[in-house]
């Protein structure tokens, strides 16, 4: 698996969390990371109902990822939107609550064993940054991945800062590779 060899600055220039920063990854690497994970977990936030990419809402991309077999947590008010798209979330809870529970190395949303990769999508930048920081410092048993449009230095892996069309292309690439 080839990771990106580049330096990426945090989208919010004051968000420099120290010596350990996320590895920037492209869509094909994201798909490989998800496929390699034994127990991934997708956390979908309320921003997914507002963010549009190429005429589709971000929640549509989240639903496609969930349909690829990733257990999903519906946060905020995304439960109905996921249900309308044919996805039954494994749990409904706030992003802070699920992040807090993930600090326990034995916890999982479905009782089938602990998660090893946590994917955040559609959570506001500032809140996601704090949740990723919490897991970085207090859940060292986990790897984290941000599918946000902006680089998140507190994640283990994050997409780099992307233009909208690049972000849409990357998400479509991830979905296609996960379904293949």
Q: How many domains is the chain partitioned into structurally?
A: 1
- Asked if residue 114 belongs to a domain, the reply is yes
Question: Domain span at residue 54?
Answer: 33-179
Q: Is residue 148 part of a domain?
A: yes
In a domain? residue 104: yes
> Is residue 14 a part of any domain in this protein?
no
Asked whether residue 37 is domain-assigned, the answer is yes
Report DSSP letters for the chain, one per residue.
-PPP------SSTT---SS--PEE--HHHHHHHHHH-SSEEEEE-GGGGT-EETTEEHHHHHHHHHHTT--EEE-TT-HHHHHHTT---SEE--HHHHHHHHTSTT--SSSSS--SEEEEES--HHHHHHHHHHHHHH-TT-EEEE-SSS--TTSSEE--S--HHHHHHHHHHHHHHHH-
Domain assignment of residue 17, yes or no: no
Query: Is residue 52 in a domain?
Result: yes
Task: For residue range 4-62, list pLDDT tens digits in order.
Answer: 545 565 655 555 566 677 889 998 999 999 999 999 999 999 999 999 999 999 999 99
Asked whether residue 49 is domain-assigned, the answer is: yes
CATH of the domain at 148: 3.40.50.1220
- What predicted TM-score, i.e. pTM, was given to this entire model? 0.90
pLDDT in tens, 118-174: 999 999 999 999 999 999 999 999 999 999 999 999 999 999 999 999 999 999 999
């Amino acid at each position: 698996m080839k990771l990106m060899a580049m330096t990426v600055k945090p989208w919010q220039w004051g968000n420099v969390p120290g010596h350990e920063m996320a590895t920037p990854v492209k869509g094909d690497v994201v798909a490989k990371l998800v496929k390699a994970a034994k127990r991934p977990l997708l956390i979908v936030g309320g921003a997914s109902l507002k963010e549009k990419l190429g005429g589709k809402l971000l929640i549509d991309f989240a639903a496609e990822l969930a349909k690829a077999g990733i257990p999903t947590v519906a946060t905020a008010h995304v439960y109905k939107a996921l249900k309308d798209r044919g996805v039954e979330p494994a749990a409904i809870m706030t992003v802070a609550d699920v992040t807090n529970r993930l600090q326990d190395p034995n916890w999982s949303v479905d009782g089938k064993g602990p998660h090893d990769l946590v994917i955040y999508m559609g959570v506001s930048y500032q809140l996601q940054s704090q949740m990723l920081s919490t897991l970085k410092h207090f859940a060292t048993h986990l790897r984290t991945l941000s599918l946000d449009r902006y680089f998140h230095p507190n994640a283990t892996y994050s997409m780099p800062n992307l233009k909208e069309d690049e972000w849409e292309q990357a998400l479509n690439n991830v979905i296609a590779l996960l379904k293949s």
